[in-house]
Structure 1
Amino acid sequence: MNWTDIGAVTDVPLRGARLVKTQAGCIAVFRTAEDEVFAASNACPHKQGPLSEGIVHGQKVTCPLHNWVFDLNTGEAQGADEGRIAVYPVRIEAGRILLEISALQNRSAA
């Protein structure tokens, strides 16, 4: 695996997100109230809503445009909604967020 440092955990607010620009497009990095970190596509498949501006609750994010809810572990839409967002491996080392970049190589640029 090929990991790259994308910033400090504290750069992402609890129950919030930050947008990270990569060569493959924008990735949303989420931090839960339990201090867990997830990385996923920033665009909701429904209407391309900016998920980094959504509401983080538990291990899920709600799209700010039409309230679609996505599991940050799997990317699957929850409830009656059908769809999926891409999720990317992350790990924490010494307070830094590392993103596994080979997973991005299969993604086309946004």
Structure 2
Amino acid sequence: MNAMTPDWIEIGSLSDIPRSGARVVKTPAGCIALFRTDADEVYALDDRCPHKGGPLSEGIVHGRHVTCPLHNWVFDLATGLAQGADEGAVATTPARVEGGRVFLTRAALTLHGRTAQGERLDG
């Protein structure tokens, strides 16, 4: 299945997400943080730490991990699992990059059949 099928929605350009950084996509289901690694891999997680609700998109990206800006919990970007002694997980969303464009699954961007409108990265 490629990103052009109806199950994937283009949300913007890879260049809109800084390397070792993040951007947020607002959806009817909540905010999704998009993380870009130094290797140009893109991961999508809920933008809310399960510990104290901190915005993970404001955390530090290192390798394939992000550190919460509030209490330094570390999460694996691929699995959403807390690392080290911390316990918990953040929901992940399938993401892919094709031709320099970032795509998320339609299911991630909808809530009760409503699709997010006008929430592209490159706006």
Query: TM-score, normalization: structure 2?
Result: 0.82
Deviation at 1:103, TM superposition (A): 4.1
Does 2:54 align with 1:43? no
Does 2:106 align with 1:101? yes
- The aligned runs of 1:1-110 (5 Å cut-off) are 2-103=7-108, 105=110
Moved over 3 A (4+): 103-107
Q: Could you tell me which runs of 5 or more consecutive residues in structure 2 were left unpaired when the two chains were aligned.
A: 1-5, 113-123
Equivalent pair of 2:28/2:111 in contact (CA under 8 Å):
no
Task: Output the amino acid matched with 2:35.
Answer: F
Query: TM-score, normalization: structure 1?
Result: 0.91
Deviation at 1:6, TM superposition (A): 1.1
Aligned residue-pair number: 107
Indicate the percent of aligned positions where both proteins have the same amino acid.
Answer: 63
Q: 1:50 to 1:97 in 2, by over 3 A?
A: same
Equivalent pair of 2:27/2:110 in contact (CA under 8 Å):
no
Deviations 1:62-96 (A, max 9, x none): 00000000001111000000010001101111111
Q: 1:86 to 1:104 in 2, by over 3 A?
A: farther
Rg larger in 1 or in 2? 2
Q: Could you tell me which runs of 5 or more consecutive residues in structure 1 were left unpaired when the two chains were aligned.
A: none
Quote the Cα distance in structure 1 between the aligned partners of 2:89 and 2:110: 19
Quote the Cα distance in structure 2 between the aligned partners of 1:5 and 1:21: 14
What RMSD in Å do the two structures reach over aligned CA positions?
1.6
